[in-house]
Amino acid sequence: MLGFITGAGGSGRAAVLPLLRRRLPQMAVHAFEAHPRWGPGPPATPAQRQQVTEAWLQTALAAPQPLLVVGAAIMGEVLACPSAPQAGHIAFCLLDCDDGTRLERLRRRGAAPADGRELLAWAAWLRGHHADPQFGPQVLRRGAHPMMRWSRWQGWQAPHPYWRCHRIDTTCLRLAQVADQVVGWLQDEQVLYDHGYRLQLTAHPEAE
């Protein structure tokens, strides 16, 4: 199984990562941004983020144990990557929180943007995208890498059996509680896998 945890800044992704590594010894837990292809700073373009997403999929396919990747991956991009059909079971979780909590957390660690409107807009878009494949898909396609296979899901309507993302509201949770909910989500996903659930994606021979 391959799991992706995503969320906008301030949602608790980075903070909960060390705890997840301790709580999930059976999984290889990595920060998305730790992949060598990410580089020393944030990627300049969506295409670079998509290349790193594909690299994590390839890493998961070659790994001897289940993988959990925490960071900037986006569900629509993961599903559109060339290697996604080979992964079998991919699980998604969105860490989210209210706007005031998000900005306060970033202020406390000295990472608050001068103007938080762009960050809050991104958080709102992530919330919508991970609930509905038809919510602003053009955001992903602008400046996209030519390898991406958007047609796999561009016609899907919510609710869809393969557009599944668990959401954890971290607003009022301690880190240990966030970790508890992540572990519970992964256990539920493992039960689905054990009962035969598989992500069915078409492996198109040509990129769009």
Q: What angle do CA 129, 135, 140 make, to 5 degrees?
A: 70
pLDDT at 204: 61
* CA atoms of 202 and 152, how far apart (whole Å): 6
Q: What is the mean pLDDT of residues 14-38?
A: 96
Is the peptide bond prior to 40 cis by the omega test (within 30 degrees of 0)? no
State the pTM of this model.
0.95
User: Tokens 């608790």 appear where?
Assistant: 12
Residue 205 has pLDDT above 60, yes or no: no
* CA atoms of 128 and 125, how far apart (whole Å): 5
Q: Which residues contact 153 (CB under 8 A, 6 or more apart)?
A: 76, 79, 80, 133, 160, 162, 163
pLDDT at 3: 98
**What are the residue boundaries of the structural domains of the chain, listed by start?**
2-194
pLDDT category at 194 given cuts 50, 70, 90 is: very high
pLDDT at 88: 84
pLDDT in tens, 119-155: 999 999 999 999 999 999 999 999 999 999 999 999 9
CATH fit for domain 2-194, picks 1.10.3720.10, 3.40.50.300, 3.40.630.30, 1.10.10.10: 3.40.50.300
